[in-house]
Amino acid sequence: MVNRWRAAAVNLGAVIVLLVAASLLPPDTSLSDRERSGVLKLCVPQSFPPLVTGDPEMPGYDVELAGAIASEMGLRLQVNTLPAIGRDYNPRNWSLTRAQCDIIGGGVADSAQTRSFLQTIPTDSRTGWIGISATGTMPETGSVVAVLPGTSGLDRVALSTWLRSQGLRGQLVRSPVQLSQDLASGVAQTAVTERFLANGLELDPAANKAFWLESDHFAPVSTALGLWKGDQTLKRAVEAATTRLEASGSLEKLRKRYGVGAELTLTNP
């Protein structure tokens, strides 16, 4: 009996300690700070069509989505273009700060790697590894595959391992231009890249077919808006605004405007 009461007292003491510790945490002012400033800051890369385009008339799905969310919250959207976004696959290396960004958009994958750094709100577009070839299939063993990893937190290690397991030689390229050239010249028999990067490739869609890599290995994931961990009041407000936009039909119009729910195809820019 004594041991039972001792165990109960220890458990109760642990709960009390946790409650006291929680009461000492600083308050979450992420939403009230935004309401006080009247501004919601969105950080995006320079270009990531169709999510970010740089075109004032049609600035991109993520930009217009964030603008609609800000409007629902009674705030003004401020778009900050940061070239560091996307130069490395790991968001931790993008040198982002709270002073610059409340929300990060433009190709953020809703992946485990991203969620280790940010909390995410999935959007309606999907990304993932895609292949591009004349046949719409991966080439035979021993072939060269040009790889342009992109920005969005997709698993490069898993891709590299899978290519080797297929007997293919992955060749890293640094830009969409180089990938297009290697594929067109025959230096590479197939290209692999992130879905939306394919929109910037200078390839003839009639001569090249895009296809998702094997779904068992690389299931497509949603893109997302990223918010700082701990900004729970802001996250709840953004989610509530998104729910209202969905109910009003605004998000469906936005999806059709940018074709984010369309089938996987190549476009000739």
pLDDT (tens digit per residue) in 67-97: 999 999 999 999 999 987 866 656 667 788 9
Decide if 235 contacts 242 (C-beta within 8 A). no
Residue 245 belongs to what H/E stretch? helix 232-248
Which of 11-25, 139-153, 249-263 shows the lowest mean pLDDT across its residues? 11-25
Give the model's pLDDT for residue 89. Answer: 57
Residue 266's pLDDT is 67
Stretch 212-239: mean pLDDT, rounded? 89
State whether residue 146 is helix, strand or coil.
strand
- How does pLDDT run across 159-196, given as a tens digit for each residue? 889 999 999 999 989 888 899 899 989 999 999 998 88
CA dihedral 210, 214, 219, 224 (to 10 degrees): -30
Q: Decide: 155 and 182 in contact? Cβ < 8 Å.
A: no
Task: Please state the rounded mean pLDDT for residues 143-172.
Answer: 86
Sign of the alpha-carbon dihedral angle for 215, 126, 132, 90: negative
Lowest-confidence segment of 24-38, 71-85, 170-184, 218-232 by average pLDDT:
24-38
- By C-alpha distance, which of 57, 103, 90 is closest to 257? 57
Per-residue pLDDT at 218 exceeds 90: no
Q: What angle do helix axes 250-258 and 61-72 make, rounded to 10 degrees? A: 160
pLDDT, tens digit (0-9, with 9 covering 90-100), for 90-116:
666 778 899 999 999 998 888 887 888
Query: What Cα–Cα distance (Å) separates residue 209 from each residue in 54, 69, 177, 206?
Result: 27, 36, 17, 8
Compute the distance between CA of residue 235 and CA of residue 229 in angstroms, rounded to an integer.
9
Q: Are 82 and 140 in contact (CB under 8 A)?
A: no
Percent of the chain with pLDDT over 90: 47
CA distance 122 to 108: 9
Q: Average pLDDT, whole number, for the chain?
A: 84
Q: Where is 148: in which H helix or E strand?
A: strand 144-148
pLDDT at 38 over 70: yes
